[in-house]
Each structure stands twice: as C-alpha cells, then as structure tokens.
C-alpha cells in the first residue's frame, strides 16, 4: 500500500512546510508505530527516556558535525518558529545599549525589526525596499552604529528569492535568520553571534526551531523575559527545560544523518548550485519568463520568476499543478511564481519543471 501511495507523490515546490527526503519519510514510516526496541512510537515516548535522550543528543552532534559548529556555541531546539525568534533575539541580545541595527531585505527582516522596536532603539541601516527587495544591500562598518548591540540580517529571503553572497564585515555580533537556507551550503558559523532557523523550510517538520548562539551572548536577557524565551533556559537544560517538540526533533535528526551519510554540506551545496543554475540559466534565456532578482544576489533555495502578465502567471501555476508540479505560486504578498528547491528537491524535479516551462512557453508564445 505504501509503495502505491509513494507513486502518487508530486514534486512539491512549497516554500514551507516543504519537501522532505523520501528515504527519510520512509524510515519514519518504518518505525512510526514501534521505534527500534522501545515498543512505542517516538510520539508516545517520554522526553526524559533514554531513547529520546539518544535521539536529541545525536541530532545535536550531527548538526554540529554538518555545520562545523565551534565549541563555544550552544545549539538549542526551541518551539515557536522563526517568528518567536524575532522576540527572543531582541529580549536576549539587546542588553548593552538597548540598540540594534537591522538590514531590511524583505518582510521577515521587517517583522523582526518591528518586534525588536518593542524593547529598544532600532535602526534600519540599509534597505532594498525601494527596489521591491530585488537585491541585497552592501553593508559595511561605516553604516552600522558603533554602540549597537548587534546587526540583524535575514540571510536568505524566502519571499523575494535573494541571498547574501557576503557576510558584513562589522565589529558587533551578527544575528542571522537562516530559516530558508540552513544546511544548503557551507557557512562559517564563527562569523555570527547567533543563527536562528525554523525547521520547516530545509530541515524537517514544523514545530522545532534551531538556535545556534555564541556562549558569551547568553545570560543577559531583559529582566522581563519569560523563562521560556531566555536562551539560558534552553542552553542550561540541553533543550529539555520543558517538553520539546520531540517528534519534529526526531525527524530533523534523521535528515541530519541522511546529509552526513551523503557527504555533508559541501556535496549538498554543489548539488544545490547545479539545480539552481539550471533553472536560472533557463529563466535568463526565456522570452516568456524572467527573474527579477539581481544576478549576484540570487537564492539557490527560492527561485522567484514572472511572465509579466498576472493572468498568464495564474494559468501557468494551474497548468503546472495538473502536471504534478505543485505550489509554484509566489508568496501571497507579491504574486508571480516561486520554485522553492530545497535540499530535498531532487534534480529530476527541477528538470521536469524546466521541461514544463519550455512547453508552456512554446504554447503561449
Ligand atoms: C518562514 C520564515 C520565517 C517565519 O517562520 P515561522 O516558523 O512561520 O514563524 C522567518 N524567517 C524566514 C527567513 C522564513 O523563511
């Protein structure tokens, strides 16, 4: 029965929650009812059991190995999504001068800054809003306030399809939202004060959020901070202060193991770059479709494109769906199309998308 169901799977280009590796889903299926020798499902298991202890510890160590996370960084599994991190970042890191600088590259960065404005003095030091967020501004030391507690960036802009191709050279900690690009490429974690990422884009099911935080930035939270929102709570208790999202952590752990087994992030990055460049090359040669994003700032995870005609965009999204290529509509705030080609999207999915776009282009020339 499961094989038959698996044959009905489509290519899912959703921005999140999004595609997961089929072999991981099948592994989950295999041990869903009875996890190894435990006689129970991970969903039914105490978060204090020895089985779950092994699951969460291995998830952390595999993530550390994959991202080469230095020892002076804590890894935490938290609930509340990327959105709750916007508050946690401000409550925890705005502690010296109650000032923080933000680079506005889209809706998520804007939301993060708005949240931080509740707790201190925030400044948008650069923005690409006047160009509909089609590029990443170049930020350097001279633009950032010397006494700001941190510089906040959204490293990959899920909605607009842009991505930093550099890490700003500044003397204050950089806090980066990597929700939609974590594990897609090799990253020098030591250049960041903290990295935050919701799991449901490129890691696993919704429900768990990952925070990787340099130790010296932990322990200074605003006195009004709820216990749950203090990184110290999670770091001191190895993410087990209260019940964590056990099942989501378990699936994320399987995704980490799968990545390790397949050669880690250098191999993944290479595959992702190949997939993305195939699609961008086609977009740049197409007479019907185009990508509005500046070439040097294009995301290899979220590929945004348009025909220039809203009705035709709609027709394309519908037609693609009937060919098993689903969720190609752009974010509800900007329309157009977006193909999210996360780690788990096989090259075949991209090839099938391009072939369908070529067909559609011919038919609508
Ligand atoms: C999806 C997303 C968020 C919000 O995540 P939630 O888990 O829905 O709160 C934040 N930042 C980025 C870059 C995202 O892609």
Taking the C-alpha atoms of residue 80 and residue 230, their distance in angstroms, rounded to an integer, is: 13
Positions annotated as catalytic residues are 108, 177, 201
| Beta carbon of 108 within 6 Å of any ligand 1 atom | yes
pLDDT for the residue numbered 333 = 86
| Index of the ligand 1 atom closest to the CA of residue 106 | 13
CA-proximal residue: ligand 1, atom 7 (nearest): 81
pLDDT for the residue numbered 365 = 82
Taking the C-alpha atoms of residue 88 and residue 222, their distance in angstroms, rounded to an integer, is: 10
Pair of tokens at residue 40: 């129970």
Q: pTM surpassing 0.95?
A: yes
CA-proximal residue: ligand 1, atom 5 (nearest): 82
Give bridge partners of residue 329 from the DSSP assignment. Answer: 337
Numbers of helices and strands, H then E, in the chain: 10, 13
Q: Residue range 340-344: average pLDDT?
A: 98
What are the phi and psi torsion angles at 95 (to 5°)? -110, -20
Pair of tokens at residue 127: 């923005």
- Name 97's Cβ contacts closer than 8 Å, sequence gap at least 6: 121, 147, 148, 149
Tokens 């939609």 belong to: 180
| Index of the ligand 1 atom closest to the CA of residue 156 | 13
Does the pLDDT value for residue 4 go beyond 90?
Answer: no
| Beta carbon of 49 within 6 Å of any ligand 1 atom | no
Taking the C-alpha atoms of residue 365 and residue 350, their distance in angstroms, rounded to an integer, is: 22
**What are the tens digits of pLDDT across the range 267-292?**
999 999 999 999 999 999 999 999 99
Does the pLDDT value for residue 2 go beyond 70?
Answer: no
CA-proximal residue: ligand 1, atom 3 (nearest): 82
Pair of tokens at residue 142: 């001279």
Query: What DSSP line would sit under 154-208, residue for residue?
Result: ESEETTTTEE-SS--B-SS-EEEE-TTTTTSS---GGG-SEEEEETTTTTSSTT-
Contact by Cβ (8 Å): 132, 104: no
Share of the chain above pLDDT 70, in %: 99
């Amino acid at each position: 029965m499961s094989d038959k169901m698996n044959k009905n799977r489509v290519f899912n280009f959703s921005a999140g929650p999004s595609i997961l590796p089929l072999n991981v889903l099948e592994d989950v299926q295999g041990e869903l009812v009875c996890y190894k020798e435990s006689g129970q499902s991970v969903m039914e298991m105490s978060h204090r059991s020895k089985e779950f202890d092994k699951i969460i510890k291995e998830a952390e160590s595999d993530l550390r190995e994959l991202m080469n996370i230095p020892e002076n960084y804590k890894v935490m599994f938290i609930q509340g999504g990327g959105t709750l991190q916007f508050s946690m970042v401000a409550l925890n890191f705005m502690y010296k001068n109650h000032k923080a600088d933000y680079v506005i590259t889209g809706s998520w960065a804007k939301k993060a800054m708005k949240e931080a404005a509740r707790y201190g003095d925030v400044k948008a030091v650069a923005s690409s809003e006047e160009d509909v967020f089609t590029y990443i501004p170049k930020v350097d030391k001279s633009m950032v306030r010397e006494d700001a507690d941190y510089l906040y960036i959204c490293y990959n802009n899920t909605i607009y399809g842009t991505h930093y191709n550099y890490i700003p050279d500044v003397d204050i900690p950089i806090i980066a939202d990597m929700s939609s690009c974590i594990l897609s490429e090799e990253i020098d974690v030591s250049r960041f004060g903290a990295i935050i990422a919701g799991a449901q884009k490129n890691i696993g099911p919704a429900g768990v959020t990952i925070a990787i935080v340099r130790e010296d930035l932990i322990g200074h939270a605003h006195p009004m901070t709820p216990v749950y929102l203090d990184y110290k709570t999670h770091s001191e208790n190895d993410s087990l202060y209260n019940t964590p999202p056990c099942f989501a952590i378990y699936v994320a752990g399987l995704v980490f193991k799968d990545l390790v087994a397949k050669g880690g992030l250098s191999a993944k990055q290479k595959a992702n770059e190949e997939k993305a460049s195939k699609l961008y090359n086609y977009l740049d040669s197409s007479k019907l479709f185009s990508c509005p994003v500046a070439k040097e700032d294009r995301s290899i995870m979220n590929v945004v494109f348009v025909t220039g005609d809203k009705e035709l965009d709609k027709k394309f999204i519908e037609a693609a769906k009937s060919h098993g290529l689903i969720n190609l509509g752009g974010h509800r705030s900007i329309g157009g199309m977006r193909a999210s080609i996360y780690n788990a999207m096989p090259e075949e999915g991209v090839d099938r998308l391009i072939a369908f776009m070529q067909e559609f282009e011919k038919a609508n020339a």
